[in-house]
Amino acid sequence: MKCVKCDGRLVTVRVDDVDVDQCDRCGGVWFDAHELERVLGRGHLTPLARRGAPRPDDDARQKISVVQQRLVTEYGYDEHSAKEALSYVTTLLAQE
């Protein structure tokens, strides 16, 4: 399988007992949903998340609040859950 970011090739590497696909070129890591859950369940990403995401600028904040509104109005999230979900996603994206 090819990397979604570059021309590298994804190779399966074993982290403890979870297989993840890692690009042999840029080092990007690709999780299947269940793999991510297993890793998250053990909190392996927590130390990374604690580094914190860079503060979004006004433009990014504007976009985030639009998405947050959509989560609330279209997907039935409450305000708190929508904010939590978005800040989590932002944190993951910041780890590139």
Q: Please provide residue 28's backbone torsions phi and psi, each rounded to the nearest 5 degrees.
A: -60, 145
Which of 26/89 has CB closer to Zn ion? 26
Which of 30/88 has CB closer to Zn ion? 30
Q: Shortest Cβ distance from residue 65 to Zn ion (Å)?
A: 32
Q: Shortest Cβ distance from residue 45 to Zn ion (Å)?
A: 19
What value, to the nearest 5°, has the Cα angle with vertex 52 and ends 51 and 54? 125
Q: Shortest Cβ distance from residue 93 to Zn ion (Å)?
A: 16
Which of 24/84 has CB closer to Zn ion? 24
* Residue ranges that bind Zn ion, judged by CB under 5 A: 3, 5-6, 8, 23, 25-26, 28
Q: How many CB atoms lie within 10 A of CB 38?
A: 18
Residue 53: Cβ-neighbour burial (10 angstroms; 0-12, 13-18, 19+): middle
